[in-house]
Structure 1
Amino acid sequence: MPTLPPPGSTPAQPADAAQPHQRRDMAESFGTDPALYDRARPRYPDALIEAVADAAPGPDLLDVGCGTGIAARQFQAAACRVLGVEVDERMAAYARTTGVDVEVAPFESWDSAGRTFDALVAGMTWHWIDPAKGAAQAAAVLRPGGTFAVFWYVLTPPADLGAAFAAVHRDVLPDHPAASRAAASPLGAYETFLDRTADSLGPAFTNIQRPTFPWSRAYTRDEWLDQLRTSGLAKPLADAGKLDAVLDGTATAIDAAGGSFTLESTAVALLATRR
């Protein structure tokens, strides 16, 4: 993630990231500690997994940017047969240890070897894919009637704590344009991704839908800090020598709130059907 998220949230990408798919350095920065990533990243709402599995005409599923296999394992538990495509060998190697079959390549240039699928999914990753090339590749690998499903989760702390997190970012990076977006909607960045994805799909897809799925999770201070270490914020903050300051300020804010909190958040998705 090149810039900071709207205050009060921790999206994978900012609202003002014009072309995140061009930031391969960012896309490939998450494999530094795959075990931490797999432990710290939230799972997707069961209702989302069930909706996608039910919409697919069959069980064969391609997981684009599968990472350590978080979503893939959830779809396996929903009786899907999953193949992952992942650009980072470190993430792919970890996913394989959890029982996920993964091939390493950028999705846009991945060789499907003539294989086709009943569903294509991408959890927290489609913004890293070139929109036009990704849509063309998706159309090529989906069977007629197949389901295209990309989704993101929005991590929205309670309002008071979100304001405290925003204050930490303002204090650490006072000149950063995103640090002062106090009125910004946490959903804004994701609505941008959904709009761009829908616009890029073209005539090969129909029945475009944008469902949302509420979810909640309790976090301790240390769990939230681990999540922050695996977010798109971590690399630019570390490169700027600011990561420890953000972690320390965030920890202080959570301690002041009692040491834990509950997210009442939303997962957003875009579903479409291959003509």
Structure 2
Amino acid sequence: MRIKRHKAVRKTLKFFHVNFGFREPYKVLVDGNFIHAVLATGNGDVEATLSKLLMGNVRAFTTRYTLHELHGMGKEYRATLEGARRLERHKCSYEGVTTAAECIKREVGEKNESHFFVATQDKDLQKYLSKSSVVPIIFKTVNGVSLQKPGSNLQNFVNRASEAKMGIQDYERGTRVMRELAGGEEAQQDQLVRKKKKKAKGPNPLSVRKKSAKGPERRRHNQEAQPAAQAEKPKRRRVRGKARAGAAGGGNDVE
């Protein structure tokens, strides 16, 4: 159970850190009823209890309105008053405030630019802050001190902001792609223009060669050429042996 609680606390802290910039040392505004609830269980040190919950350095603050309220509650809350006096005192910057809850509401405001946590047992104050401000809420239960999960309205706000940011990125990406496409089309058009401006060359000599005869035409041409070649070739006369002998004898008579 403790492991699950720590995981839930880490998840909530990460949510406020990533989306709203909350970081250590965590500043916690504490009201009187929360201090009383912590001391009633024997924990003794409010700041140490908060530091254990948030797993980090903590600065716990109270206000003079909280001290004034505890002082007016009598002897039963004397130990609570002493515990509140040991905390740092945050000066409420608004005049005309009458209650500690009103002081906390005004100090936190709508945007909570000071990044305050609020520790309170006041159900009405918890409900008001969870609906109207960016503030992590801490409260005491029977099982210990807990950190409230972000409300649905706060999660919806973060989701809308994230979607709007992604939409801008998609638009910018789409615009970049369109520019690149337009640049590519212009480059292609320039290439076409340059190709059109090239000087025309003469015909390829190989493409105008007379085609050689193929198939039956080539065989017919060869057959017609063979008789002509045979007619032009001189015949060699054969001389027999007697003729050679007669020619030789006639030569002797002359001598």
Is the TM value for this pair above 0.5?
no
TM superposition score normalised by structure 1: 0.29
Larger-Rg structure:
2
Which structure features the higher share of strand residues?
Answer: 1
Higher helix share: 2
- TM-score of the aligned structures, taking structure 2 as reference length: 0.30
Q: Higher relative CO (CA 8 A, sep ≥ 6), structure 1 or 2?
A: 1
